Amino acid sequence: MDNRDKELDALEAKHLDEASTDAQRTPIDFPRMMRIEHPNCRALPQSKEWLERLYAGDRMPREKKPMVFDHMRSWGPWMVSVDAEPMSVLDGMSQTATLNSGFASDGAVRAYFNGAFDGLLLRSPDSAVIDHPKAVEYADYLGAYTPDIDKIAFTNSGAEANEKALALCKLNASHPSADTVIAFEGSFHGRTLQALHATWNPKKRAPYELDGFRAVFAPFPATITTEPSAAAVDALLRACDAGDQDAMQKAAQLDTCLQSEVDSLTFVNEALAAGTVYALIIEPMQSEGGDRYGVARFYRALRRLTRHHNVSMILDEVQTGFGLGGPYSWGLGYALTDKDGRPDNPDAMTWAKRAQVGFVNSRFTDPEPTSAHIASMVRGLSHCKSIGDGAHASWVEGYVKPKLENLPALYPDLVEGTRQRGYAFAFDLPTPALMSAYIKQRFWRGAVVFAAGTRTIRYRLSDTYSTREINRLFETIIESLDWLKTNGPVDVPTWEQMVEDEPKQPDARYRTRPVARVETAHVLEKLLDIESAAYEPARRDTRETLSIGLNHPFGVAVVAEFKASDEWVIVGSALAGPLDAFRHIAGPDQDQYLDQNNTAYSIAITIHPDHQGVGLGAKLKRAQLTQTRRLKTADGQIRYRWMTGRNRVGLADSMTHLNRMFGAYEDVTLSDQYGETGAKAIYYRIPLQDYSPGLCGPVERQALLWSSALSQPLAQPPETLVDLRDKGGLFGPAVTKITVCNYITPAIVRAIEWVTALNTNYPHLYLTSCRDELIDKTIRTLKHHRTKGVAAIGLTGGYVGHTSAGCRAVSDGSVHKMGPAARQWPLVDHPSQVGVANMLEQLKRAVADIGSNDAVLGLFLEPVQERTGAVLSDDAWAALNQFKAETGIPIVSVETASAAYRCQTSPFATDTDAADPDIRVWWPGGQTGFIHLKQAYFVPNPLTMVSTWDGDELSMIRVHYQMMQLRRTNTEATQARLAEFIDQLNERGVTVYGRGAYYVLHMGDRAEQIVGQCKAHGLSLRGFKNGGIAISPPLDITETELEAALKILDSAIDEALSM
C-alpha cells in the first residue's frame, strides 16, 4: 500500500465516522431553535472549521454564507447553523424562493417516512431512459394543470429548463434558419449560454457573449396604476392580431397610458417580422430584475402578436411558479386569448426552484429527454401538492399588506415602490449604497433577505410563515431601516460586534420529574384540577384517559413542579400511552402503525395558566419524549419508535410550535373535531429513535440495468451508504434541497473533499446541477480567461450534452436528436478514424477558420466517447499535448463515460502520463456535476461562476460513497471478459469501439431491435441516434451476472445479423 492509498484510507475512515455521528442526532437531543438567536460567543467556530475545509488550498471561491446549515435543527422558515452555540435566523428568502414549505416540509417528510423515496436515496436511475413510476407520477400531476400544453420535459434547473424550451422552439420553428431570441430589458433566464444571452443584466451577460447565441431585448413596460379604456385595449389587441404597428400607435393615442406597452410591442413586432426569431421568452414578473410586475393585457397582446407571426412564446415561471403568487401559475392568471377571444396558452412554460427540478410543459414532444434527478421529483411532487388553492398565500398577502404599505409613511425618505403578491413582497431604497447597507445587516438582524436590480429589497415567504414569523420578520425590517435612517450607507457593523447578552439562567423554582407508580392516584387528582383550569370542556381529558399515562405498563407520566415555600407543587404534566389504547380517537383510529406496538400517543401537555409562559412546555415535552424512547419490552426491544398526538388548529398553536421544536410533522389534518363543525386538529408524528426512512423494500441488485450505468455504476449500493440511510443520515438531504451556491453542510464538504482527493493535479473545483451545465460553466470559465475567444473545437462523434445550446454547439449532431444549436462550432475528425496526423491538420485549419489561437476557447475531448466509444490513444494525447504547448489552446477532458474507474483502474482516464488536460469535467449521475481545474483557469471571484443550486446534496453523498466503494472494487476480470466478448464481435464483422467497461456497439438501423429484444429478456441497454448501443455493465457485476447478460446480448445480435 503506497502513501496515497493510506491517505485515502484515513480520509475515508474520518468521513464515515463523522457521518455516522451526524446521523445519530435528532431534534429531541438538539431541539429546533425556531427563534432568532445569536451565539453569546459572537462566533461560529464549527461553521468556520467546515468552511475552511471547503476552501482548503483555495479549492473553491470564498462565496458561501457564514452559516453551515444544520438539517436537524432547521425547520420551516427557521435556518440554524451546525455550531454548538448556533445562529438561528428567519430565512426571508425561502433559500432562493426554492422552498414552498420551508425546511423539512411536512409533505416531504411524510413522503420520506412513508417510503416514497424507496430506492432513490441509494441510487440515481437515469430518467432519460427509465420510465420510473415516480417520474411518471410527477409528470402526470404537472400536466393536469395545463391540459392544452401537457407534454412534460424534465431538466435539473431553471436555466436548463429554459434551454430545453428554447431548443424545442428552435426545433419546431416556422423559420428553420431563425437564430434569434426575443427577451426583455430586466429579464433573467439563467447562466447557461443561451439563457444567459437572453438575460438583460450586462454585468452578468456581456463578459461571456459569443456569436451564435443571439438575443435582442425589448423594453419591459412599466406597471401603471391608471386603467386604460376598454376601447383602447381592444384596439391594441386587434392591432396585434394583424401585426399592424400603425394601429398599435392609434391605440396608444386613444389612451396615452398604453404608450410604454405599445413601444415594447412595436419593437417586438419589427423583430418578429424580420423572420429571424424562433422564440420569445418572458417572465410573468421580473424577479432578478427588481420585482418588476407585468400587466395582463400586455401578455395577451404578446400572445396575439406571436400568434400572428407564428413564433413560439415561452413563459418563464422559474422564479414565480409553483404557488409563489398564490395559485400554481403566476402567468396563467393573465388569461391569454387568441384573436377570436378564446382561451390560449404560451407554447411552452418553464419551471424550477420550488419544483425541485427543472421542467418544461409545452405543445412539443421532447425528441431526446434530459437526465433528471428522480429523488428531487419526489420532493417536488410533495411541494406541488402543498400549493392547494393558494389560500394561505392570499392570507399572507393580506396580513403583510398593511405592514408593507406603512413603511413609506414611517420612512418617507427611504422606502418607496412597495409591491407584493402572495408570498413575494419588495420595496425600493433610494440608492444602491443604501440597498447594500440594508443587505449587510441581514444576519445580525436575524432575517435573510436578498437584493435585486439596483435598489430593490425583496422577500420570499412560504406556507410555514404564521403571524408569529411575519411579525418577527417585520421587526427586523424596522430595525434595519431605523439603522439606515440614523447612519446612512456607511460601514455596517456585523453581529460579531454586538454587545454580548447575559447568558440565560434556568429558573431554579421549577423542575420536571417522572411520576412514580406509588403516587399515581394522588397525581391524577392534581392533573384533573389543572385540566379544568387550563382547557375548555371539549378539550379536557377524562380521568380514564389520564390514567392510561399514569398506570399503563407502557404509559409515560412526567410532571412539572413549582417550589412554593418549602414544598414542590405540581403545576403541569406530560402524559403518553400506547397508540392502541386510543383507537377510539380520530387520528389514532387511522394510524398506519395501529396494532404494531411501536407508537406512543401523547395524551396531553398541560400547564396551569398561572405558570404558562416560563418555558415549562418545552421542558415537559422533552422529558416526555426522552422517557418514551427509553422504554423497552420484556425481551429488551425498543418499545416505541414514534410518538403521535393532536393539536387543535387555532387554539393550540403554541403546542404545535412546541412539538415542531422536537421534530413533529403533520401526518394528517382532521376535520370536524372536538364536537364542532369546522374545528380542525393536526395529527402529528415525532420520530423517537432515529430518522431512518422506514417502509423501504429490500435493497435488490440491479446487475442488468446497463442503461443507467453512468448514473448508477454499482449493481448493489455501497453497504456504507445503506448503513448511513438506516441510521437516518439521508433524511435532511432527502427532504430539503438547500441552495449550495449560498450554503453548505458537513456532508457536502466531505463529498467535495473526497472527489478532489481523487484529482490531485486539479486543485480547484466548481459544482454544477447537471451534465450540460458542466460544459456551459466551463465555456464561461474559459471565456473569462480567454477574452478574445469566440468558439470551441470538438471531435466528430463527440457528445457533451444536448439540452443547452452550448452543449449542442460542441456535440456532434449525428449522435443526439435535439437538433442543432444556433451555431455549430468546428468539429475535427476523430484520430481513431483518420489518424493523428490528419486530426492535427484539421485542427490547424479549424483554428485558422476561427481566426487565431486566442480566438479558440478550448478543445473539448472525451477520452472515451460516450456515444461512439472512440478512444483517444496515447499517441493522440501526445500530439494534442504538443498542439496545446504550441498554440496555448487549453484542453477540456469530458470524462462522463470514462470516470469512476470505468475504463481503467484509476478514477479517471486522463490520470495517465500521456494525457494532460487543463480542465476535467464529469457527470456522475443525479443533480450534480464536477469541474476540476488547474490554476490557470480557475476564477476565484465570488459568485462569478455560481448557479442557484450548484449541485444537490443527496447526489453528492451518493457519489462520495460510490467512489469510495469503487476504489475497492476490482474490475479487471469484468474488463477482461468484456474485451474477449468484443473481440468475438469484431471477428463477426460487428463494429465496436471502447475500452475497459465502456463500449459502443454500432448496429445502424438494427440497434432499436437489439435494445428491444434485450429489454424483453431483462437486460436494459441504451441506444443512440447514430445506431450505437452502450455496453456498460455495473462495475461490481459478478461473473455469473455478466455471463447471463452477454448471453442475452449475443442472442439479440445473432438474430439481428440473421435478418
C-alpha grid cell, residue 70: 444544520
Let me know: does 289 contact 256? Beta carbons within 8 Å: no
Rg of the chain taking only CA atoms, in angstroms: 31
Percent of the chain with pLDDT over 90: 92
CA 116, CA 138: separation in Å to the nearest integer?
A: 12
Strands 991-995 and 998-1002: antiparallel
H or E segment at 246? helix 245-254
* CA–CA dist 870, 909 (Å, integer): 13
Stretch 733-744: mean pLDDT? 97
pLDDT tens digit sequence for 414-446: 999 999 999 999 999 999 999 999 999 999 999
Grid coordinates belonging to 683: 395529527
DSSP 610-642: GGTTSSHHHHHHHHHHHHHHH-B-TTS-B--SE
pLDDT digits (tens, 9 = 90+) for 177-201: 999 999 999 999 999 999 999 999 9
**Which residues partner with 579 through β-bridges?**
none
pLDDT tens digits along 767-797: 999 999 999 999 999 999 999 999 999 999 9
Tens of pLDDT, residues 59-84: 999 999 999 999 999 999 999 999 99
**Structural domains of the chain, ranges and CATH numbers in brackets:** 3-109+391-497 (3.90.1150.10), 133-385 (3.40.640.10), 510-687 (3.40.630.30), 739-967 (3.40.640.10), 970-1058 (3.90.1150.10)
Question: Which residue in this structure is represented by grid cell 462565496?
Answer: 63
The answer to whether 1005 and 997 have CB atoms below 8 angstroms apart is no
749 pLDDT band, cuts 50/70/90, is very high
pLDDT band at 238 (very low <50, low <70, confident <90, very high): very high
Query: Which residues is 514 bridged to in the sheet?
Result: 558
Q: What is the mean pLDDT of residues 742-764?
A: 98
**pLDDT at position 490, please?**
85
pLDDT at 502: 65
pLDDT confidence band for 650 (50 / 70 / 90): confident
pLDDT digits (tens, 9 = 90+) for 854-895: 999 999 999 999 999 999 999 999 999 999 999 999 999 999
What distance in Å separates the CA atoms of residue 42 and residue 87, rounded to the nearest whole number? 9
Query: How many whole angstroms from its chain centre is CA 487?
Result: 38
Q: Across residues 500-521, what is the average pLDDT?
A: 86
Question: How would residue 497 be classed by pLDDT, with cut points 50, 70 and 90?
Answer: low
User: What's residue 501's pLDDT?
Assistant: 60
Residue 724 pLDDT: 98
Express each pLDDT in 207-229 by its tens digit. 999 998 999 999 999 776 778 89
CA distances from 83 to 36, 80, 506, 632, 945 (A): 15, 9, 21, 33, 28
pTM: 0.97
> Residue 178: which of 273, 278, 308 has the closest Cα?
278
Helix (H) or strand (E) holding 799: none
Q: CA 993, CA 708: separation in Å to the nearest integer?
A: 19
Residue 89 neighbours by CB distance under 10 Å = 28
Q: Which residue has the cell 423554582?
A: 509
C-alpha cell, 770: 447537471
Q: What is the pLDDT of residues 318-357, one digit of tens each?
A: 999 999 999 999 999 999 999 999 999 999 999 999 999 9
Please list the residues that pair with 980 across neighbouring strands.
Answer: none
Give the CA dihedral 784, 790, 796, 801, nearest 10 degrees: 50
pLDDT at 934: 98
How far is Cα 851 from Cα 846, in angstroms, rounded to an integer?
Answer: 9
* pLDDT score at 135: 98
Please give the Cα distance from 249 to 579 (Å, whole number): 72
E strand or H helix that includes residue 513: strand 510-514
pLDDT at 499 over 70: no
Q: What is the pLDDT of residue 570?
A: 97
- Look at residue 411 in the predicted model and tell me its pLDDT: 98
The average pLDDT across 705-718 equals 98
Could you read off the pLDDT of 979-1035 as tens digits, one per residue?
999 999 999 999 999 999 999 999 999 999 999 999 999 999 999 999 999 999 999
What is the Cα–Cα distance from 236 to 1038, expressed in whole angstroms? 70
**Integer Cα distance of 908 and 863 in angstroms:** 9
Q: How far apart are CA 195 and CA 777, in angstroms?
A: 12
Length of the chain: 1059
The per-residue pLDDT for 117 is 97
| pLDDT score for 496 | 62
In sequence order, which residues have a C-beta less than 8 Å from that of residue 193 and are 6 or more positions away? 208, 210, 213, 776, 779, 780, 804, 805, 806, 809
Residue keyed to cell 470514462: 898
CA 25/CA 3 separation, integer angstroms: 34
pLDDT tens track for 912-933: 889 999 999 999 999 999 999 9
Model confidence at 390, pLDDT cuts 50, 70, 90, reads very high
Percent of the chain at pLDDT > 70 equals 99
Q: For the chain, what percentages of helix, strand and coil (3-state, to nearest 5) are there? A: 40, 15, 40
pLDDT score recorded for residue 1:
65
Amino acid at 363: R
Q: Residue 654 has what pLDDT?
A: 87
Instruction: Identify the pLDDT of residue 913.
Output: 85
Lowest mean pLDDT among 82-86, 379-383, 563-567, 759-763: 563-567
In this prediction, residue 498 carries a pLDDT of 62
Mean pLDDT of the chain: 96
CA proximity to 372, closest of 928, 960, 867: 928
Confidence at residue 766, expressed as pLDDT on a 0 to 100 scale: 98
How distant, in Å, are the alpha carbons of 326, 431, 448, 1019, 1025 from that of 994? 52, 59, 51, 20, 18
